Amino acid sequence: MEDSREPLLSQREDQNHNHHHEDLDRLHSLPISTSSTYSFVPDADDIPPINGIRDFFREFYKESKKLWYLAGPAIFTSVCQYSLGAITQVFSGQVGTLALAAFSVENCVIAGFSYGFMLGMGSALETLCGQAFGAGQLDMLGIYLQRSWIILGTTASLLSLLYIFAAQLLKLIGQTAAISKAAGIFSIWMIPQLFAYAMNFPMAKFLQAQSKIMVMALIAAAALVLHTFFSWLLMLDLGWGLVGAAVVLNASWWFIELAQFLYIISGTCGRAWNGFSCKAFQNLWGFVRLSLASAVMLCLEFWYFMALILFAGYLKNAEVSVDALSICLIILGWMVMVAFGMNAAVSVRVSNELGAGHPRTAKFSVVVAVISSLMIGAILALILILTRNKYPSLFSTDSQVKEIVNDLTPVLALSIVINNIQPVLSGVAIGAGWQAIVAYVNIACYYVFGIPLGLIMGYKLDMGVRGIWYGMLSGIVAQTVALFFMVYRTNWNKEASIAESRIKRWGGHD
């Protein structure tokens, strides 16, 4: 794949760069979503014009193969890494109720917050590495990776204060003294996992940009198998309890980081890794700004669903409402794994093709990803509707909880459909480098519109948990419509030009 990409930038620049050079810097300051008459000559390898149904289905099939080559392993990797914490939680429940509560609180509140923020910071690399790879600027990928390590390592050092003072923080938000103390001690033990996040997310984006997804899946699978065995051995057989949970979970994450790092420096990435360089310390502030925009964009989405659980806890019969809502969100989380895989795939495809000067291919990749995700979401939602009287029994024996889950199934099904489209559009935004704009869209749609509407429907109109969810789902719909409009209005020729300008601004060569 590298051999076919490397000549693209030089071929295009020889023809176009001289008379476009002054326009590129000016274009970078223009609003992304506005139309433009800017003339960009696409690369000769761009997708040909589609005339008729036959051409559409032929190109749809070709692009689907490219997307699923990336999305399949990405979904598997996400499931494996997600399962590390889930397996530890299962074994913690066998240790004791306090151990389970301490792990759950640390995993959801402390580690969950840090995971979302660090993942967002790392997603800046998704834009830069993807576009640089598409443009044939392979030598810049390693520089970007090292810059991201510096920034995320510094961020992890600051976030470690959250782990150190976790006990006091948990007491402040209303947790019991016993749970706060146990979770606080466990949080300190989990600080190595925080620094593993700082290593992992940049490497994941670095490898994704080069379509080296399969090696990530194999490493994640090996980590999951080892994690399961050693969790049983240390936590139950040897009786180490939460200490064993911390040791195994930290070791599993660092196993993933070391395996990926050894793969990267072994020479398998070619010119993408040329060793450590002092260039990594250049342009750090600009890199920090893009990273922060990415973090805000993703964190606003993570916190939005955390708020749903929080608000449900203040309803009448709160325990039943929270249990039912938790079941629905677990199902939603597992099913959206497919969308997250497609998110990663379309982000790589869009950034690669924009960097390579293929605006029509980038646009068509978005069309294929949205249609595929919509079909998958509709199928999953239909299955859920057809089994609405049966699947709640898999999670609870309480009749009230099962009844509420049954009542929530239609909104859950609708959420699955919407949340299979929204991450794909977010992936397009990341691939094109629109993180800052999408952060503002998220604030408006989620926190100015969605949450207030949910509170009004849930409390004022006395619709309970369904009202809260319907209101907040309205925010997701509004955000999806806004992203769809941005994508629809995008001038992809201009985006390809901006990608070329961005690569040179961040240290790429002509």
**Residues 305 and 419 both lie in one domain:** yes
Residue 210 and residue 342 in one domain? no
**Residue 324 and residue 315: Cα distance in Å, rounded?**
13
R_g of the chain computed on alpha carbons: 23
In terms of C-beta density within 10 A (0-12 exposed, 13-18 middle, 19 or more buried), how is residue 74 classed? buried
- 507 within domain boundaries: yes
Which residue, 282, 307, 333, sits at the end of a domain? 282
45 within domain boundaries: no
Determine, yes or no, domain membership for 66: no
180 inside domain: yes
Last residue of a domain, one of 217, 247, 282: 282
Domain contains 64: no
296 and 242 inside one domain: no
DSSP for 23-38, please give it. HHHHHHTS-TTS----
Task: Indicate the number of domains in the chain.
Answer: 2
Note down pLDDT in tens along the chain; length 510 residues: 434 443 433 444 344 444 433 333 433 333 333 333 334 444 555 666 777 788 888 888 888 888 888 888 888 888 888 788 878 877 877 777 777 778 777 877 788 788 878 887 877 777 778 777 877 788 888 888 998 899 899 999 999 999 999 999 888 877 778 888 888 999 999 999 999 999 998 998 899 888 888 899 999 999 999 999 999 999 888 888 888 999 999 999 999 999 999 999 998 888 889 888 888 787 777 777 777 777 777 777 767 766 766 676 666 666 677 667 767 777 777 777 777 777 778 878 877 787 777 888 888 888 888 888 888 889 989 998 998 888 887 766 778 878 888 888 888 888 888 888 877 777 677 666 677 788 788 888 888 898 899 889 888 888 887 888 888 889 888 988 888 888 888 776 776 677 667 666 655 454
Element (H, E) at 431: helix 399-432
Torsion, Cα 266 272 275 277, to 10 degrees, reads -170
Same structural domain, 304 and 403? yes
Same domain, 334 and 415: yes
Report yes or no on 238 lying in a domain.
yes
d(CA 413, CA 418): 9
Question: The domain containing residue 437 runs over which residues?
Answer: 286-510
Do both 305 and 439 map to the same domain? yes
Cβ atoms of residues 209 and 199 within 8 Å? no
174 in the same domain as 98:
yes
Tell me, yes or no, whether 271 and 415 share the same domain.
no
Q: What is the pLDDT of residue 3?
A: 43
Based on the fold, state whether residues 428 and 354 are members of the same structural domain. yes
pLDDT, residue 248, reads 94
Q: What is the pLDDT of residue 247?
A: 94
Q: What is the pLDDT of residue 306?
A: 66
Q: Quote the pLDDT of residue 506.
A: 55
Pair 385, 483 in one domain: yes
Tell me what pLDDT residue 504 has: 64
Q: Is residue 52 part of a domain?
A: no
Closest CA to 256 of 78, 113, 81: 81
Q: Is residue 169 part of a domain?
A: yes
- Same-domain check for residues 379 and 492: yes
Q: Which residue, of 235, 253, 282, is where some domain finishes?
A: 282
Does 308 share its domain with 418? yes
Which alpha helices (H) appear in 96-212, and where do they start and end? Answer: 97-105, 111-122, 124-134, 139-164, 166-172, 177-189, 191-209
Helices (H) and strands (E) in the chain, counts: 20, 0
Rounded to the nearest 10°, the torsion over CA 333, 337, 340, 342 is: -150
- Residue-level pLDDT at 210: 87
